[in-house]
Amino acid sequence: MGFEVFAAPVFAGLAGLSAFLFFRYYTRRIKLSPEDLWSLVFLMALGVVGGSFLFYALLYGGGPADTLPFLIRYKRIPGGSFWGGFWTALACAYMYCRAKKMDFRPVADAIGLSAMLALAVMRLGCLQHGCCHGTFTALRWAVSYTDPRCAVERALLGRPLHPSQLYESLGSLAIFCIVYFIFVRRGRLKPGGAFVLSVVFYSALRFAVDLVRGGDPGVLAVYPLTTAQLICIAGAAASLFWYHRDGSL
């Protein structure tokens, strides 16, 4: 007798834990009260889960026309969207800060850095599970999936693929280390700067990774750009505009 444990949900839990621990650590510098901390964590957790599934249902898997029948039949959404969870959680935090008349900028910094740390962990689970896999490659560090229970399409089983999940994991960890240890710890950024750098750097990383990432390009894809790449461009531009308008740039 035994039981199976899939890597993706386990690493998603570890990613959430790492994000929470860093968020709590970072927000100590702005003297966030326990009430505000837990309220923000609760709202952002709802935003991450809800936004991730909502964005996927709207923008991936063929759009609502295909994902709704899947949801009715299997009682679940076939995937999630990092950008959906990120931006929805950020919006929840912004509305809370505005309602409480709190400075949103340092909270945004904590969210941006926590997201990079969490993504570095989560993509390791994706690597083992096969979701977010790459395209065919002849490079020596290619990975192959042979278990039909993984998330890789049957036609790609046994074929060498780009470890796009590992690219994104290592890249996200590098972004976290660069922004936090080089800029934040040395006092080189004004409030809001760590968030903007995290978004801009990750947008560049994700844009590049999508060039070798297989799977669904999304319903907004405009050749040769995928839906995620378009979100990267829009998100980076919006964050820079916010930082400039706020007077911090």
Task: Give how many domains the chain has, as a whole number.
Answer: 1
Residue 150 lies in a domain: no
Q: What's this model's pTM, rounded to 2 decimal places?
A: 0.94
Residue 151 lies in a domain: no
Residue 46 lies in a domain: yes
Region of poorest pLDDT, from 77-81, 83-87, 153-157, 209-213: 77-81
pLDDT score of 4: 57
Q: What is the pLDDT of residues 109-120, one digit of tens each?
A: 999 999 999 999
Ramachandran assignment for 176, one of left (phi > 0), alpha (psi -120 to 50 degrees), beta (any other):
alpha
Interior angle at CA 24, CA 21 and CA 26, nearest 5: 105
- In order, the DSSP letters of 203-226 are HHHHHHHGGGB-S---TT-BTTB-
Residue 152 lies in a domain: no
Q: What is the pLDDT of residues 130-154, one digit of tens each?
A: 999 999 999 999 999 999 989 899 9
Residue 41 lies in a domain: yes
More confident position, 178 or 66: 178
Per the structure, the complete domain to which residue 73 belongs is given by 7-144+157-245
Whole-number Å distance between alpha carbons of 84 and 112 = 14
Residue 66 binned pLDDT confidence (cut-offs 50, 70, 90): confident
Residue 249 binned pLDDT confidence (cut-offs 50, 70, 90): very low
Helices 227-245 + 193-209 axis angle, to 10? 160
How many beta carbons lie within 10 A of that of residue 59, not counting itself? 22
Q: What is the pLDDT of residues 235-244, one digit of tens each?
A: 999 999 999 8
Residue 1 binned pLDDT confidence (cut-offs 50, 70, 90): very low
Write phi, then psi, for 111 (nearest 5 degrees): -65, -45
Q: Which of 86, 116, 132 is nearest to 238 (CA)?
A: 86
Contact 12, 118 (CB under 8 A): no
Residue 224 lies in a domain: yes
Look over the chain and give the mean of its residue pLDDT values, rounded to a whole number: 92
Interior angle at CA 130, CA 124 and CA 131, nearest 5: 85
pLDDT greater than 90 at residue 81: yes
Ramachandran assignment for 190, one of left (phi > 0), alpha (psi -120 to 50 degrees), beta (any other):
beta
Please give the share of the chain, as a percent, with pLDDT higher than 70.
96
Tokens representing 1 are 């007798």
pLDDT greater than 60 at residue 247: no
Residue 13 binned pLDDT confidence (cut-offs 50, 70, 90): very high
